[in-house]
Amino acid sequence: MAKTIRRVLVGLGSLLIAAACWLPLSHFFFQPRMTDYVAAHGIPAKARQLAARQLEIWSDPGLKAQELARMRSSNAEWDFMSRTFFVLALANMGFRDPAAKSRYLAIIDTILDETLKLEKEKGLYHFLMDYAKSGSFKSSAKRSLFQDGEIALMLGMRRLLEEKEAYKPLLHERVEQMLSCMRESPVLCGESYPDEGWMFCNSVALAAIRIADLLDHEDHSEFFAQWISTAQKRLTDPKTGLLISSFLFDGTHGDGPEGSSIWMTAHCLQLIDPAFAEDQYRRAKKELAGRFLGFGYAREWPKSWPGQMDVDSGPVIPLFEISAGSSGLAFVAAGAFGDREYLKSLLTSLNFGGFPILQKNRLRYAASNPVGDAVLLYALVLGPAWDEINKRMEDRK
Amino acid sequence: MRLPFFFRRQPLLSPTDLLARAFVVSLAFGVVHLLGWREYTSFLSGTLASNSMPSFYALFMGLTYIVLFLAFTLLAPALFFAALLARGLNLLFSQSRKHKGGAS
C-alpha cells in the first residue's frame, strides 16, 4: 500500500514539475524566425508563400469558385474583403519587388475589373450580409461606404503603384459619392449598412480619399481635420479613449470599441493624422492585446465593454477572450506601427493555433480562410505604399 | 501474442504508465494528422472546410484534431519528461534505501 501511494505521489509530482517546466517553454517551438516574415526591403519568404497561395486561387477558376463559395456561405463580406486585402498586399509587393510589378498589376486589374463587374451586375447587396435588405439607407445616395471605400482604396492603390487612365474617373466618382454620404451625417460618417456606420469602413474611406487627393491633386485636409475633431468628440468611448466601432447615421453609439475595427482604423488613420493614429494604437494595445506563456493574442472588446461574439469577432476563446477576428487584424496594426515584439508573439500564436499548411511552396492556414490569409499577407508586406504616399505628400508641400 | 508495453495496463502514474500515455496521445494525433483532419480546423474562422460535408462531421473532425494537437504539443512532452523524472526519483529512492539497508 505504501509502495502504491509513493508511486502515485512520485508520478503526480513529476507530472506537475514537468508541466510547470514545459508549458512556459513550449512557445519557443513555435516562435518565428522574424526575417522569414518581416523585411524592410524585398518580400519576406513567408509572404511569398502566402502570396503564391492567393495567386493560385486567382488563377484557377475552379479553386477560386470553391474558396469564394466557402467564404460566402458564412459571410458575403469576406469574398469582398479578401479582394481588398489581396490588392493592398499586391500593391505593396509591387513597391517591394519592382521586377514583378507588371505581374502584380495584371492581377490587381483582374480583381478590380471582376469586382466592379459583380457590383454592377449583382447590385448593392452582393457583397453585403443579408440583413442589409431589411432597412433603408438614410443618406440620399443610398450607398454602402463599406463597398465604396474598399473599391476606392483598391483603385487608389493600383494607381499609386502605376497610373491607369481608365481608373481615374472611377476613383474620382467614388470619392465624390463617399464625401457626399459622409457630409450628410452629423458625425461625418457614411453608412455601411442601412442606418449603420462602421469606423472600419469610414477610416478605409478616409485613406482612399487621401490617396485620391494625392493622385488627382485635390485637397480635403479641412474635411479630414473636421472628421478627426468630430470623431474625438462624438465617436469616442469615454472609458478607454478608443474610437467606437459602430453607430447610427445620426451618431448615436452602437457597439463600443472593438478589436476587429480599431486595429485597421488606426492603420488607415496613419494617412490622416499620424499622432492620433499612434495614440489609438497604443490605447488599443493596452486594452486589447494579451500574452500568455509567450503566445500573443488580441481580445475583441476591452474589459470595460463586454460584447457578444459575432461575425466580426469570430469565435472567442473564453477565459482569455481571444478573438480570431481581432487577433487577425492586430497583425496589420502591429506591422504598421512597427511593434515587432507584439508581431512576434502574434506570429508565435499563429504558428501554434493557425495550423499552417505548406504545399508546393504555397502557404495557407487551415484555421483561417482566404480573407484571413490575405489580411496576414498584407500585414507582412505593408509599409511601402503608405511611405510612398507620405513621401509624395511631403514633396507636394 | 503480447501487446507492446504502451498498450498494456501499467501501474497508475508509474514511469511506464506516463510514457505509455505520451505514446498513445502521439499516436492518436499522428493518425488524425495523416487522415488530413487539420483541414477541418477552419471552423475556428467560422468557415466550413468543405461545402459538401455536413457541418456536424466537419466540426467533430476539427475539434478532435485540435484536442489531440493540444494533447500532443502540451501534454505528451510533459508526460514524457514526467516519466523520466519519476524514473530518476524512483532510482534515487531505491538507492538511498539500499544505502540505508547497507548502513544498518
**Above 80 in pLDDT, residue B52?**
no
Stretch A86-98: mean pLDDT, rounded? 98
Interface mutation target, options A66, A75, A355, chain B, most CBs of B under 10 Å: A355
Q: How do residues A342-365 score in pLDDT, each as one tens digit?
A: 999 999 999 999 999 999 999 999
Q: How do residues A144-191 score in pLDDT, each as one tens digit?
A: 999 999 999 999 999 999 999 999 999 999 999 999 999 999 999 999
Across the interface, of A11, A73, A74, the residue whose CB is closest to B86 is: A11
Considering only residues A318 and A4, tell me which one the structure prediction assigns the higher pLDDT: A4
**Above 70 in pLDDT, residue A48?**
yes
The domain ranges of chain B are: 13-103
Across all residues in chain A, what is the average pLDDT?
A: 95
**Above 70 in pLDDT, residue B51?**
no
- A167 phi and psi angles, rounded to 5 deg: -90, -10
**Above 60 in pLDDT, residue B104?**
no
Contact A19 B15 (CB under 8 A): no
Tell whether A317 is within 8 A of chain B (Cβ): no
Contact B82 A19 (CB under 8 A): yes
pLDDT of residue A265: 98
For every residue of chain A, which 3-state class applies, written as one string?
CHHHHHHHHHHHHHHHHHHHHHHHHHHHHCCCCHHHHCCCCCCCHHHHHHHHHHHHHHHCHHHHHHHHHHHHCCCHHHHHHHHHHHHHHHHHHHHHCHHHHHHHHHHHHHHHHHHHHHHHHHCCCCCCCHHHHHCCCCCCCCCCHHHHHHHHHHHHHHHHHCCCHHHHHHHHHHHHHHHHHHHHCCCCCCCCECCEEEHHHHHHHHHHHHHHHHHHCCCCHHHHHHHHHHHHHHCECCCCCCECCEECCCCCECCCCCHHHHHHHHHHHCCCCHHHHHHHHHHHHHHHEEEECCEEEEECCCCCCCCCCCCCCCCEECCCCEEHHHHHHHHHHHHHCCCHHHHHHHHHHHHHHCCEEEECCEEEECCCCHHHHHHHHHHHHCCHHHHHHHHHHHHHC
Give the percent of chain A with pLDDT over 70. 100
Helices A76-96/A61-72 angle, 10° precision:
130
* C-alpha distance from B41 to closest chain A C-alpha (Å): 5
**If you count DSSP H runs as helices and E runs as strands, how many of each does chain B have, helices first?**
3, 0
Contact A10 B13 (CB under 8 A): yes
pLDDT of residue A327: 96
Tell whether B36 is within 8 A of chain A (Cβ): no
